[in-house]
């Protein structure tokens, strides 16, 4: 069996610290992507609601015109 010394343990700790930093950076990127997509979805919902508000009165006027025809 290989003998474990402090240099070996130090190298392993450096590797783990580097991997942890890499995972943290990847998590930041993924979080930023998700936040951007979420903001886009919220903006799309607001746009659809605004369009519905714009079209709804026109739809009411058309319904009144159709009901008024003999």
Report how far apart, in Å, the C-alpha atoms of 4 and of each of 1, 11, 16, 59 are. 9, 11, 17, 79
What pLDDT is attached to residue 1?
A: 61
**R_g (Cα) of the chain, nearest Å:** 30
Asked if the model's pLDDT at residue 2 lies above 90, the reply is no
What pLDDT is attached to residue 37?
A: 87
Whether the model clears a pTM of 0.85, i.e. scores above it, the answer is: no
Asked if the model's pLDDT at residue 20 lies above 80, the reply is yes
Q: Where are the domains of the chain?
A: 23-61
């Amino acid at each position: 069996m290989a003998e474990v010394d402090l240099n070996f343990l130090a190298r392993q700790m450096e590797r783990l610290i580097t991997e942890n930093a890499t995972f943290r950076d990847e998590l930041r990127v993924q979080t930023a992507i998700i936040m951007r997509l979420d903001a886009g979805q919220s903006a799309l919902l607001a746009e659809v609601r605004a369009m519905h508000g714009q079209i709804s009165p026109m739809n009411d006027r058309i319904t009144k015109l159709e009901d008024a025809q003999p």
